[in-house]
Structure 1
Amino acid sequence: MKSPIIAPIALLALLTLAACQDETPPPEQSESRPALTVELARPETANWVRSLSANGNVAAWQEAVIGAEVAGYRIAEVLVDVGAQVRKGQVLARIDASTMASEVAEARAAVAELEASVAEARANAKRAEELQARGFYSQQMKTQYQTAEQGAAARLAAARARLQAAELRLGRTNVLAPDDGVISGRAATVGSLTQAGQELFRLIRGGRLEWRAEVPSADLAALRPGMPAQLTGPGGETVPGRVRSVAPSVNPESRNGIVYVDLDPSPAVRAGMFARGEFQLGEATALTVPASALVLRDGFTYLFRLEGEDRVALTKVTPGRRQGERVEIIEGLPEGAAIVAAGAGFLADNDRVRLAPGKTTAAGPTP
């Protein structure tokens, strides 16, 4: 049989052991080490040019269609080809003029013959008037001679008109450029017969090209004639231009309007090209940050803002224009905030960071 003293002794031993365990000091919690050494920057305010981007086709300002003014004659010579720079009045092609030259000669002979007839009829009429005054001719005879004179004069006028028409056709055997410009198309071939309404050449008047930019209807009100624009060529070349006019209507399907931009002469763009460009709407103040500070996650743009001494907060922002290595922040960034300028892609919200020596902090430069 156990002694009744053993139970209290055992209970006392257990209590003493528990008290000793409670007095054991807790292990020190290790402080979390900084996630990353970062560089900070502050937003900067700058005057940036506001721009509006658009796409569109490059086309000729005006294209002149050049054809033969006489039909049924053979082309004898073609003097220019596609791409040729021509001046107003320059001969582009010649049409065989041998047939028309003979027509002119025949018309001149007919005029000479009728001029002689008119001279004879005029002399007869004058003599009849004198004889009628002396009583040798009747009034009827005098009238007959005067009528013959008038008929001969009318026939002479008709012959002179035919001569003028023949000379005009002969002069049109040279196909001339109606204006200065660049030949953009050629259908004329030596030996072919000219046809009424047939196109022989196509000319870009003045060599002028225009950019027909498609702009959303909501942005058309911001554009005015005379505003500067800049087109980007396929090789990255920039071509300056200026707004000539804004279309008074929009496409009911795309809701876009056409803005016509006169382009400066440049070999970088050609008619028929599709190009992208920008309209310069003037300067406006922009709050900018380094492009390296922005982080794209889940389709949104963020940056890390310093809170306190060594913590960062993930902040959602709305970016705007971009120039070089800086990006405009439209909204979401408090004034005077210090942001992580480099290394933001490796951070998470509320991470602890170490500031790079000599870099900007929320309180100013670090020692």
Structure 2
Amino acid sequence: MKQMYIPVNTSLSFLLISLFATIMPAQAQSAASAKASAATSTSTSTPTSTAKPSLTVTATQVGSGQMATKLVANGSVAAWQEATIGSQSSGLRITELMVNVGDVVKRGQVLASFDSEAVRADLAQAKAALAEAEATALDSIANADRARGLQASGAISKQQIGQYLTAEQTAKARVAAAKASLDVQQLRLKYTQVVAPDAGVISARMATVGAVLGNGAELFRMIRQGRLEWRAEVTSADLSKLTAGMTATVMAPNGEQTQGKVRMVAPTVDVTNRAGLVYVDLILPKDKTAAAFKPGMFARGEFLLGSSQAITIPQQAVVVRDGFSYVFKLNPDQRVTQVKIQTGRRMQVNGSEQIEVLSGINAGTQIAASGVGFLNDGDLVKLVAPSAAVGAAPAAPAAKK
């Protein structure tokens, strides 16, 4: 009995083990299949719309309109006319100076005075000489009148009558000479005061108190009427585009701007640099703008030549990368496409700078208007109204996992 029981139990054990080994792999394979199916259904059930945008931007359309055509030039600021004020008295000493450099003077204002004592003495002497000549002339005229009365009676000879008439003419000539001498001394007295020949600004002073100067010595220099002009250097190719009366905008080195009008275009061109001068009268208001422009300084300006039709975009919609200009076109799927453009003129419109697009994009195309410096080609963006983006700093692009 014992020998028959052992084989039966051994066969049953082998049977159970074989059945268990068959069932367990099947269950494990079913579980793995269920997990894979669940993962697949989860991934397929997640919509693409839940992808996070890289940046919140505002949109604008590429516009078109009239844009001014300008010619840029460089040049120097100079006085319209600089008057030289000199001395008309010789050998006189300067006693007083009334003005200094930078003073604004009026026409006829006294600028300097010379010592007038010697001139006044000469003037008194000339007056006395005139009085003596006039007295002598009265006597000569009376004698000549009596001689004319006796000429018909023959009481005196013709020779004596001729002498009286000659003495009369000589006396009158001496009176005229004395008057001329008196006028000279009066002019000398007048010239002891140096007056401004015109209104303007004193730009230089060479005179010093106590100096004895000769006739014609330079005392002051003055910018007539305080007028300044901008002498722009324009190439010979562009010189024909400018005419008298055109407007120009001139910028000082500190950034201050003022308006001007072309007064004259030079009739010749410099043979060294093949450029001609354009004289522009500056219109300087009486504020800090006038102080920003001084004769001799360098200035940059633009001439307004007219206007033409152009495709324009806001300056903030352009990003420069690797030396080229780009904009980001907005697609219907809220993604952006980087587009290379060629820019041209620039213009201020209602405080916003507009840039002309020469090629690369058409009018009416919708582009990103803000945050373009953080965008890349193909980025997903979120559009908001322009007012919602005012004052908000652009967000950084979302990190890609």
Please classify the TM superposition score into its range, dividing by the shorter chain length.
0.7 to 0.9
Report whether the alignment pairs 1:273 with 2:297: yes
For residue 346 of structure 2, the aligned residue among 293, 296, 321 is: 321
Displacement of 1:345: 5.4
Partner of 1:159: 178
Letter in 2 for 1:169: R
Task: Check whether the contact 1:35–1:347 (CA below 8 A) recurs between aligned residues.
Answer: no
Report whether the alignment pairs 1:289 with 2:313: yes
| TM-score for the superposition, normalised by structure 1 | 0.79
Change (3 A) 1:122 1:327: same
Change (3 A) 1:137 1:179: same
Instruction: Give the SS at the match of 2:273.
Output: coil
Partner of 2:132: 113
Partner of 1:258: 277
Task: Check whether the contact 2:318–2:327 (CA below 8 A) recurs between aligned residues.
Answer: yes
Report whether the alignment pairs 1:44 with 2:55: no
5 Å matches for 1:37-116? 39=57, 41-116=60-135
Partner of 1:130: 149
Once the two structures are overlaid, the 10-residue window that deviates more, 196-205 or 95-104, is 196-205
Change (3 A) 1:359 1:114: closer
Deviation per CA, 1:61-115, whole angstroms, max 9, x where unpaired?
1111111111111111111111111111111111111111111111111111111
Task: Check whether the contact 2:339–2:361 (CA below 8 A) recurs between aligned residues.
Answer: no
Q: Structure 2, unaligned stretches of length 5 or more? A: 1-47, 285-289, 387-401
Q: Structure 1, unaligned stretches of length 5 or more? A: 1-30, 361-367
Instruction: Give the SS at the match of 1:219.
Output: helix
5 Å matches for 1:205-244? 205-244=224-263
Displacement of 1:42: 2.9
Task: Check whether the contact 2:111–2:195 (CA below 8 A) recurs between aligned residues.
Answer: yes
Task: Check whether the contact 2:199–2:224 (CA below 8 A) recurs between aligned residues.
Answer: yes
For residue 352 of structure 1, the aligned residue among 378, 383, 387 is: 378
Deviation per CA, 1:101-148, whole angstroms, max 9, x where unpaired?
111111111111111111112222222333343222111121122112
Displacement of 1:45: 1.7
Change (3 A) 1:336 1:127: closer
Partner of 1:27: none
Q: How many residues align?
A: 328
Q: Aligned partners of 1:215 and 1:129: how far apart in 2?
A: 80
Task: Check whether the contact 1:320–1:330 (CA below 8 A) recurs between aligned residues.
Answer: no
Instruction: Give the SS at the match of 1:267.
Output: helix
Change (3 A) 1:209 1:197: same
Task: Check whether the contact 1:239–1:268 (CA below 8 A) recurs between aligned residues.
Answer: no
Displacement of 1:55: 1.7
For residue 208 of structure 2, the aligned residue among 184, 189, 208 is: 189
Displacement of 1:341: 4.4
Deviation per CA, 1:247-304, whole angstroms, max 9, x where unpaired?
2222222232222222223222122221122223344333112334434455443445
Letter in 1 for 2:360: G
| TM-score for the superposition, normalised by structure 2 | 0.73
Displacement of 1:239: 1.8
Partner of 2:162: 143
Q: Aligned partners of 1:357 and 1:340: how far apart in 2?
A: 9
Once the two structures are overlaid, the 10-residue window that deviates more, 325-334 or 75-84, is 325-334
Deviation per CA, 1:323-356, whole angstroms, max 9, x where unpaired?
34432112333344444545655677xx433243
Letter in 2 for 1:352: G
Change (3 A) 1:177 1:77: same
Give RMSD over aligned pairs.
2.9
Displacement of 1:35: 11
Q: Aligned partners of 2:152 and 2:158: how far apart in 1?
A: 9
Q: Aligned partners of 2:346 and 2:230: how far apart in 1?
A: 23
Once the two structures are overlaid, the 10-residue window that deviates more, 79-88 or 211-220, is 211-220
Point out the structure with the larger helix share: 2
Displacement of 1:222: 3.0
Change (3 A) 1:51 1:308: same
Larger Rg computed on CA atoms = 2
Displacement of 1:217: 2.7
Instruction: Give the SS at the match of 2:169.
Output: helix
Q: Aligned partners of 1:249 and 1:76: how far apart in 2?
A: 47
Q: Percent identical across equivalent pairs?
A: 47
Letter in 2 for 1:301: S
Q: Aligned partners of 2:205 and 2:170: how far apart in 1?
A: 49
Change (3 A) 1:319 1:107: same
Displacement of 1:357: 4.2
Instruction: Give the SS at the match of 2:222.
Output: strand
Report whether the alignment pairs 1:330 with 2:358: yes
Instruction: Give the SS at the match of 1:260.
Output: strand
Q: Aligned partners of 1:337 and 1:227: how far apart in 2?
A: 36
